[in-house]
Amino acid sequence: MRARPGRPGRRRARIFAGLLIAAVPLAGCASASSQGSAAPAAAAAPLATTMTVAGGGTWAVVAMGGSAADENRFWELFTRPAGSTRWALDTPPGVADNGGLVASGSGSALTVAFRPSQDLTFSPLATTSDNGRTWGTGLLDAALAAVPDALAADGGTMLALLGDGAIDQAGPAGASLARLAAPGAVAASAAGRRCQVTALTAVAYTASGTPLAAASCGRPGIVGIFARTAGTWQADGPAAPSGSPVRVLRLAGTPTGDTTLLASGTGSAASLLAAWTSDGTHWTTSAPLPAGTRQVLADGTGPAGSVWVLLTGGRAATIAGPGAPWRQLPAPPPATAALATGPGGTTEALAVAGTSLTVYQLTPAGTWNRAQAITVPVQYGSSS
């Protein structure tokens, strides 16, 4: 562990491999897929999100800066400690983050993976257990998938969903990694064939430590959540709406259990549903949230199993947890990248404009009031 220095300038990714000399590898050589090139790989999804960890601390991942095409988009991590009303920049130092950040909480700890970009072909890791005051380093010697739940931490164990659809698992501290699923293995299981897996979308752990994998299904009426039990992948998701294929957009471990966000139907009939389980077996599913042709821009979780979604067309909604209804929010401020549950259960919008993050709070009157502004020292052109 080392203290976090001042914000470093960005450099090309190639120079960072040498910084991880103390890393513990979390992935070995990729095993060949028995399913061939047609095996379903991992999906891609918006990476901006927020999450609340045990103890009440909240973390946010958003993209800032300029154009990704010009290598001027940088992903940043912000934290709001439990009991605080203020957000602070807390991106782990020393690694290029143009490819995106994926974060997973375990207890009060947070593990962050840097997705590959430019010359970086693997995924460095950073872990903190003191709200970002110090960071430990690690290394996932493979390309993590571009989905917000590609990483799942559970005490001393970790799951990683790779871009080719493989799933790796690191055992307790000091144990070597095992390839939990080769590319295509989940789709080739009996449960996967019933689902007709089209892409893997997430990994998680149940409260008892059972590995979970999530997928989009081609067959209507099936939710593609699978538990690794007795050496096989078995169906473990909630009941699905009939008549339409279901995509698992999120499957995230939270302090109260696992939370999933589902997309069902197409076109004007498309809707979103949240579902929760505290034991990995029994699920509670929300009423549908009509989405129509709107796309999900970002989503995330909060305390007590709450879920938020940010949609195109200036639409946003939250749900407080199992048994609660969806609540439509007033149109968020322009350039809102993520939402979060603020102090006292208020809703916050995190808006990004270049190097500025502005935090707005939703008042009881339904207006968004500016509460905080943070300027991030992005060095444009440092990644080219």
- Rounded to the nearest angstrom, the gap between the alpha carbon of residue 256 and the centroid of all alpha carbons in its chain is 17
Contact 273, 259 (CB under 8 A): no
Sorted by where each begins, the domain ranges of the chain are 40-375
Instruction: Output the pLDDT for position 48.
Output: 97
In this prediction, what percent of the chain has a pLDDT beyond 90?
67
CATH homologous superfamily of 40-375 equals YVTN repeat-like/Quinoprotein amine dehydrogenase (2.130.10.10)
The whole-number average pLDDT for the span 148-172 is: 90
Residue 306 has pLDDT above 90, yes or no: yes
Instruction: Output the pLDDT for position 343.
Output: 85
Average pLDDT, the chain: 86
The whole-number average pLDDT for the span 9-35 is: 34
State the pLDDT confidence band at 177, using cuts at 50, 70 and 90: low
State the pLDDT confidence band at 34, using cuts at 50, 70 and 90: very low
Query: What does the pLDDT look like over 85-97, one tens digit per residue?
Result: 999 999 998 888 8
Residue 1 has pLDDT above 50, yes or no: no
Instruction: Output the pLDDT for position 23.
Output: 33
Residue 131 has pLDDT above 90, yes or no: no
Instruction: Output the pLDDT for position 89.
Output: 96
The whole-number average pLDDT for the span 5-18 is: 33
Instruction: Output the pLDDT for position 96.
Output: 83
d(CA 131, CA 57): 8
State the pLDDT confidence band at 6, using cuts at 50, 70 and 90: very low
CA distances for 299 relative to 41, 43, 249, 310, angstroms: 22, 16, 9, 6
The whole-number average pLDDT for the span 266-292 is: 94
- Rounded to the nearest angstrom, the gap between the alpha carbon of residue 382 and the centroid of all alpha carbons in its chain is 26
**Phi then psi dihedrals of residue 190, to 5 deg:** -60, -40
In this prediction, what percent of the chain has a pLDDT beyond 70?
86
Instruction: Output the pLDDT for position 381.
Output: 56
Instruction: Output the pLDDT for position 106.
Output: 84
Residue 174 has pLDDT above 70, yes or no: no
The whole-number average pLDDT for the span 127-149 is: 91
Tokens 């974060």 belong to: 103
Contact 18, 177 (CB under 8 A): no
Residue 173 has pLDDT above 70, yes or no: no
d(CA 66, CA 75): 11
State the pLDDT confidence band at 33, using cuts at 50, 70 and 90: very low
State the pLDDT confidence band at 21, using cuts at 50, 70 and 90: very low
Tokens 């490819």 belong to: 99
The pTM of the full predicted model, rounded to 2 decimals, is 0.88
Per residue, the 3-state secondary structure of the chain, as one string, reads CEECCCCCCCCCHHHHHHHHCCCCECCCCCCCCCCHHHCCCECCCCCCEEEECCCCCEEEEEEEECCCCCCCEEEEEEEECCCCCCCEECCCCCCCCCCCEEEEEECCEEEEEECCCCCCCCEEEEEECCCCCEEEEEEECCCECCCCCCEEEECCEEEEEECCCCEEEECCCCCCEEEEECCCHHHHCHHHHHHCEEEEEEEEECCCCCEEEEEEECCCCCCEEEEEECCEEEECCCCCCCCCCEEEEEEEEECCEEEEEEEECCHHHCEEEEEEECCCCCEEECCCEECCCCCEEEEEECHHHCEEEEECCCEEEEECCCCCCEEEECCCCCCEEEEEECHHHCEEEEEEECCEEEEEEECCCCCEEEEEEEECCCCCCCCC
Residue 350, C-beta contacts closer than 8 angstroms, at least 6 positions apart? 50, 60, 62, 78, 87, 336, 337, 338, 339, 340, 357, 358, 359
The whole-number average pLDDT for the span 21-36 is: 36
First to last CA, the chain: 30
State the pLDDT confidence band at 81, using cuts at 50, 70 and 90: very high
Instruction: Output the pLDDT for position 353.
Output: 94
